Structure 1
Amino acid sequence: MKVLVVFFSILPTIVLAQITPKDSITQLDEVVLTQEAIPKKTTGITSSSKIAGQTFERFNPTDIPSAINQVSGVYILSGAINTNRITVRGIGSRTPYGTNKLRMYFNGIPVTNGTGSSTIEAYDFENLGAVEIIKGPKATAFGSNLGGAILLETKASVQDKTQLINSFSMGSYNMLKDNLAFSHSEDGFNLSLSYNHLETDGFRQNSQFQRDGLLLNTQFRTGKKSSMALLVNYIDYTAQIPSSINQTDFEEDPTRAASNWLAAQGYEANKYILTGLSHTYLFSEHLQNTSSVFHTYLDHYEPRPFNILDEFTNGYGFRTRFAGTWGKADFTFGGEFYRDEYHWGTFENLYEENNGNGSLRGAQLSDNTEFRRQFNLFGTLTYPITANFSTQMGINWNKTHYDFRDLFNQGEFNASAKRNFNAILLSNLGFNYQWQQGKFYANISRGFSNPSLEETLTPDGIINPDIAQETGTNYELGTEWTPFQKRLSASIAVYRMDVKNLLVAQRVGEDQYIGRNAGKTRHQGLELDLHYRGRLSPSVTFLPYLSYTLNNHSFVEFVDDDNDYSGNPLTGVPKNLLSSGIDFRHSNGLQLNLTHQFVDEIPMTDANSISSDSFNVFHAKLGLRTSLSSHIGLGLNAGINNIFDTHYAQSVLINATGFGGAQPRYYYPGNGRNYFGGLQLNYVF
């Protein structure tokens, strides 16, 4: 660790000794423009937020949550590298673990499973060129989920170049990361292939993490009017699980793991593969189509203190989208079908009888299969009423079916059942007024959320026939403008979303949740994003930025047994969020990034009887990009996370319950002060 501190302190001296100005300016600008130039994927006038290369460069290459948390209205609660819960405008805050209630796409291919779960940790931060977020149910062509959609795009190949780039990073907690990427681009053909490896011991006990991954992405022209694309993403990772801890452990020693998870040496092992093949055809200058077929496979093994989970999921699907013009109007329409087979079984965990050697598999406790399928049809029509004023109408139709089969119990104890949700039609209406320096927009849209697997089952493992889909209506007004000769970029949005049939995952055992519809919530908020670009001198630019979120979310009607929580703030959501920072860039390739995040206190129980503490956390990163020759580029960076060693909870578990007289475990501690440094070599053939 001392080596990293010394490296960080002498980096400016190294930088000044390595500068070759003209070459470095050309290469830096080219890399940044390539990544920022990835166009938005939203349909027509649909508003969205996008982060790309410049935002990613501010952070440790293992820290995708901090990058996405730069977007107002979005907050990732990160308990560990493999434990992330994405909330958008408060939607998803009540999910116990993981992310649901939104749709996620990777290069246009849906990667959300049959019950709506998405895993951002399945993708290497350094392979991403852009992340686009559609907040609220207005996505239409990418689903009408209440939380919206997240569109992940890989880095674009630099046109007409062949490159080999190796990025190596090391840091605190014995962190080592390497990403080796090859890319080739020529007329009608683009290829990128990367291998990534990450390992770390983690900040806490029982938190080692190791991941290896391969990504292949290629596009090639098959004719004057057609092209094909192939995407393969393979991830193999093993992650120990420290789990959440109680308040005493959190205050006394946040590096502790939960005692039962430590004794069981709990972990999860995952092998995940996504394969997608896409075809684009240009029928005419007024109509084109992109169609994709895809397959996903996840093999998951997780020894927990209460049992051992062994599961795998096989999924496949098809997506087609037509886009074109009809007179003055632009239109899109298409469909998406997804089906997966989820097989899982649980076994006794005899770790207490294993002489301190951790988990030991015992007798089988359950054996289940669930077949899940979803079908979406969508269409949008964008029409310019005047040169500056446009309107857009959208329709999304969803049909969901679950078929649960109990392969373990027989006769009257067999819990097999089917759940066929009624088809749901979701509309979207938007308006957009454009002027020279910006735009004003308004939107009304309806959305839904399917219940997760746990929420569809009773405590006895039987499908609950009364559970209903969440539905909601979103009202939104916003504006974006770029005054002062486009040096300032500003956007502000206000919204209100009314959600009914609120899905509640109620904990009834150490690993047992049941779902039910428990009332209504109201999501109201304000989102502000500011970016400014100025000059301190002809060679030095500075870029301050700020993203602020006001969350005013509450239960309108929520009665839990004899408890009436109506009027209480929504659990799991901070009222105020602020991300800010400033980038300094020198024309010689030197840059300094200073970032700050404020998170308000978070209500952790429906009764609002306990909340997490608010916190401020600061990071810094210093980097250089320069050229050693006409073919070789060099990048150096070093940084400090949590500069002031703030003690804070990076994630919380809502409505935690203590069992056997133990304190409830609410807290996932954030990392203490830690350091990282990296080296990148780029060879252009």
Structure 2
Amino acid sequence: MNLKEKGLPLLFIFFTILPILAQKAQKDSITQLDEVVLTQEAIPKIATGITPSSKIAGKTFERFNPTDIPSAFNQISGVYILSGAINTNRITVRGIGARTPYGTNKLRMYFNGIPITNGTGASTMEAYDFENLGAVEIIKGPKASAYGANLGGAILLKTKASVQNRTQLVNSFSMGSYNMFKDNLTFSHSEDGFNLSLSYNHLETDGFRQNNQFQRDGLLLNTQFRTGQKSSISFLLNYIDYIAQIPSSINQTDFEEDPTRAASNWLAAQGYEANKYILTGLSYTYQFFENLENTTSVFYTYLDHYEPRPFNILDEFTNGYGFRSRFAGQWGKADFTFGTEFYRDEYHWGTFENLYEENNNNGSLKGIELSDNTEFRRQFNLFGTLTFPISASLSTQIGLNLNKTHYDFRDLFNEGGANASAKRDFDAILLPDLGVNYQWQQGRIYANISRGFSNPSLEETLTPDGIINPDIAQETGINYELGTEWMLFKKKLSANFTLYRMNVKKLLVAQRVGEDQYIGRNAGKTRHQGLEIDLQYRDKLSQSITFSPYLSYTLNDHSFVEFIDEDNDYSGNPLTGVPKHRLSSGIDFRHSNGLQLNLAHQFVGEIPMTDANSISSDSFNVFHAKLGYRTSVSSQISLGLNVGINNVFDSNYAQSVLINAVGFGGAQPRYYYPGNGRNYFGGIQLNYVF
């Protein structure tokens, strides 16, 4: 029985248990456990000084299916995740990264303060279970001096904090359509000077499409203990092991007739990827004086990746390591930070023939070796910020980041004149940042000007023949930003408005010249400008019912200022891969008895899918609904229940697109990654306090 058929029984069970538990909660209200609900504003800010940032936390994650992380991120204006599958996500910030064929780059990502972006600037969000996260903070644009000055900005992931002086065991179990099953088991302990959290998670699903199964197991250990009055040590270990089949993108005919289809060649090869990922880090914090503190982290990452594809089989592994040291303190009336960050990784990869066509319909079969390569990559950052008050209301901040990047590519397969080994040493680049902030009782207004950069990806540094491209350069850009934040109507309404403009030159373009062949080059200039609006209202419908409508709107007016591709002049065209209009909205209802209803909506406008703007994806609306209930069973046990529907009206929409797709051998180009059809989910959470 599929979950469309299981949906009604789930709803029946939920509404049968609900009244019983509600009655018990009223009778046993004295023993009801207090639930700690953090608003976005209550979460400690990680971004340095007056640097503006956006935050999402538990309340936002709770609105959605625990496997639907893109919907939570897409609540933030200016940030959009294009998701082809659980393992195929591309995060774009103000249009930066939209032209990347696969994956996320052009930004920096940190996990509990430890950098998790690899040597070419690629970040993998699939390596984390977001049920373990307490908050996500996003700095849009290159103004995050202390967290890199990448054009896309920085994403700061932070795990859930242990509840003070409490030992508890929490198990969250979810099931849903496409035989989805997810479980997260967390043990946490907190006492004076010591905090520990250990989580195990498992996720499996058959997926909406053919060749779309996914299975993941993960372990997260996070511990912190005080070693003295002025010092503490924390240790982090994150391990993920997952296997994900790859349905790939499909053409327009398949997308319109049957979006559950996989690309025929990926289906025949039974293409998939298998990943084992480890992140471990040790951090030491010491307070030298009342106004000077240092946190130093050393870390190691490992990724083992195996991916049978129709055109070849990729076998790779990456060892990465580094350190980050950050000082923070006060100098007179000014606040300052300064420090350094170093990252080095060793990327080993080889390709092999895929003989799936000769394997009697049994999928991929490894053939002879086609290539064997190693690349050593290192990045070094120096950073510093100084924030000082000009008056009681007016403050300014100066930031500086210095980046040095080096690639050393070694061809271990070819010999003699055919050997393609080479080095690429980028010049050091200085990236300043200047911000001004004016604060008053009901809000603030801020302005920022900053310079940023993006390193070329691995594919962009190599020609199709596997040779280092000596002419490739880093993208650079200047970002101008003006914003304001308000708290109105007795702080019931929060309103944020931002105008920005970013001019990017030496635009990196990954031009597709074969089924798995790209060549990178610096092709011109783009202008990213837009408007971002975030509104949220909180009030009471009655003494026991609160409601909170919200809206986030993004206007992307992004275009090629100068872009000439051989004989084609695309100057003036809208930027490929970016919707001009995007809207996220919804409303949350909460009852004092623990009942909660979340209604969410997303609108995405047309997305140009070719540089010539000859074809665009259709605009779409998607609606989600979730009903939850939480109560105390005893003084030690609390229970949470939820059911929900994704894509309520069963829209056929493209959740991601592949830009500038090319059809080979007379086939139609494959632009579309379909979003899931209407699907159901339900879950139970048990919390036991020792």
Normalized against structure 1, the TM-score is what?
0.99
2:571 — aligned with what? 566
**What is aligned with 2:126?**
121
Distance 1:361 1:435, change over 3 A: same
Q: How do 1:111-260 residues align onto structure 2 when only pairs under 5 Å count?
A: 111-260=116-265
Rounded to whole Å, the distance in 2 between the matches of 1:29 and 1:572 is 45
Secondary structure at the counterpart of residue 16 of structure 1: helix
Alpha-carbon displacement from aligned partner over 1:629-673 (angstroms, at most 9, x marks no partner): 000000000000000000100000000000111100000000000
| SS of residue paired to 2:37 | helix
Q: Return the alpha-carbon distance in structure 2 between the equivalents of residues 684 and 45 of structure 1.
A: 39
The one-letter amino acid of 1:413's match is: A
AA partner of residue 38 (structure 2): L
Aligned residue in 2 for 1:489 = 494
Task: Say whether residues 1:7 and 2:10 are aligned partners.
Answer: yes
Find the residue that maps to 1:250 and give its secondary structure.
helix
CA drift of 1:37 comes to: 4.1
Secondary structure of the residue aligned to 2:35 is helix
Structure 1 residue 524: deviation in Å?
0.4
Contact 2:31 2:632 in 1 (8 A): no
| Alignment partner, residue 425 of structure 2 | 420
Contact 2:210/2:267 (<8 A) preserved: yes
8 Å CA contact retained: 2:503, 2:528: yes
| Root-mean-square deviation (Å) | 1.2
> 2:462 maps to which residue?
457
Deviation digits for residues 15-49 of structure 1, max 9, x if unmatched? 22202149779967533139974311000000000
Compared CA separation, residues 80 and 645, structure 1 to 2 (3 A):
same
2:604 corresponds to which of 595, 599, 607: 599
Match for residue 370 of structure 1 among 375, 396, 414: 375
Does the CA-based 8 Å contact 2:40-2:55 persist in structure 1? no
Among candidates 536, 545, 549, match of residue 540 of structure 1:
545
- Cα distance, 1:21–1:399 mapped onto 2, change above 3 Å: farther
> For the structure 1 residues 309 and 589, does the alpha-carbon distance in structure 2 shift closer, same or farther, using more than 3 Å as the test?
same
Equivalent residue number for residue 262 of structure 1:
267
Q: Retained in 2: the 8 A contact 1:61–1:125? A: yes
Corresponding residue of 2:635: 630
1:33 to 11, 29, 38: 38
1:429 corresponds to which of 431, 434, 439: 434
Q: Secondary structure at the match of 1:92?
A: coil
For 1:471, the equivalent position in structure 2 comes to 476
The residue correspondences of 1:224-623 to structure 2 (distance < 5 A) are: 224-623=229-628
- Deviation, 1:7, is 2.2
Return closer, same or farther for 1:220/1:583 CA change in 2, 3 Å cut-off.
same
Name structure 2 gaps, 5 residues minimum: none
Deviation larger for 32-41 or 144-153: 32-41
Distance change >3 Å, CA 82–CA 27, structure 1 → 2: farther
What SS does structure 2 have at the residue aligned with 1:14?
A: helix
1:114 and 1:21 map into 2 onto residues whose CA distance is 56
In structure 2, relative to structure 1, the CA distance for the partners of 1:122 and 1:396 (3 Å cut) is same
Helix, strand or coil at the partner of 2:36: helix
Distance 2:586 2:208 in 1: 25
* Range 408-417 or range 24-33, more displaced: 24-33
1:498-522, Cα deviation, whole Å (9 max, x unpaired) = 0000000000110011100000000
- Report the CA distance shift for 1:561/1:386 in structure 2 as closer, same or farther (over 3 A): same
Q: 1:416 to 1:127 in 2, by over 3 A?
A: same
The alpha-carbon deviation at position 616 of structure 1 amounts to 0.1
Q: What is the distance in 1 between the residues matched to 2:13 and 2:360? A: 49
Decide whether aligned partners of structure 1 residues 582 and 501 sit closer, same or farther in structure 2, where only a CA change above 3 A counts: same
Measure how far apart 1:470 and its partner are. Answer: 0.1
Of 10, 20, 23 in structure 2, the residue corresponding to residue 17 of structure 1 is 20
The answer as to whether partners of 2:455 and 2:475 remain within 8 angstroms in 1 is yes
Contact kept? 1:63, 1:125, Cα under 8 Å:
no
Task: Show the counterpart of 2:47.
Answer: 42
Contact 2:32 2:634 survives alignment (8 Å): no
**C-alpha separation in 1, matches of 2:35 and 2:226:** 24
Separation (CA, whole Å) in 1 of partners of 2:134 and 2:409: 39
Q: Are the counterparts in 2 of residues 28 and 589 from structure 1 also a CA contact under 8 Å?
A: no
Contact 2:409 2:422 survives alignment (8 Å): yes
Aligned to 1:110: 115
Distance 2:39 2:654 in 1: 36
Cα distance 1:542–1:12, how it changes in 2: closer, same or farther (>3 A)?
farther
The SS at the match of 2:178 is coil
Partner amino acid, structure 1, of 2:98: S
Q: Which amino acid aligns with 2:419?
A: N
Residues 600-649 of structure 1: per-residue CA shift (max 9 Å, x gap)? 01000000000000000000000001000000000000000000000100
Letter in 1 for 2:637: I
Distance (whole Å) between structure 2 residues aligned to residue 658 and residue 24 of structure 1: 64
Which runs of 5 or more structure 1 residues have no equivalent in the other structure? none
CA spacing shift, 1:34–1:235, aligned 2, 3 Å: farther
C-alpha distance in structure 2 between counterparts of 1:602 and 1:33, whole Å? 35
| Offset of residue 125 of structure 1 | 1.4
| 1:52 aligns to 2:57 (yes or no) | yes
For 1:273-294, what per-residue CA distance to the aligned partner results, in whole angstroms no more than 9, with x for missing partners? 0000000000111100000000
Verify: 1:70 aligned to 2:70, yes or no. no
Q: Are the equivalent residues in 1 in contact too, given 2:50–2:397 (CA < 8 A)?
A: yes
User: What's the offset of the Cα at 1:69?
Assistant: 0.3
2: CA distance, partners of 1:278 / 1:121: 24
CA distance in 2 between counterparts of 1:392 and 1:25 reads 50
Offset of residue 458 of structure 1: 1.0
Paired residues of 2:146 and 2:401 also in contact (CA < 8 A): yes
TM-superposed CA distance for 1:10, in Å, is 5.4
- Residue identity (%): 84
Work out the CA distance in 1 between the residues paired with 2:217 and 2:29.
32
Q: What's the counterpart of residue 684 of structure 2?
A: 679
Q: Please tell me the residue identity of whatever aligns with 1:5.
A: L
3-state secondary structure, aligned to 2:489: helix
> When the two structures are aligned, how many residues end up with a matched partner?
685
Displacement of 1:264: 0.2
Question: Which stretch shows the higher mean deviation, 29-38 or 646-655?
Answer: 29-38
* Aligned pair partner of 1:643 in 648, 659, 678: 648
Q: Is the 8 A contact 1:35 1:129 kept in 2?
A: no
* Counterparts of 1:156 and 1:34, CA distance in 2: 15
Task: Give the distance between the partners of 1:493 and 1:677, measured in 2 at CA.
Answer: 37
After superposition, residues 661-680 of structure 1 pair within 5 angstroms as 661-680=666-685
State the SS of the aligned residue for 1:121.
helix
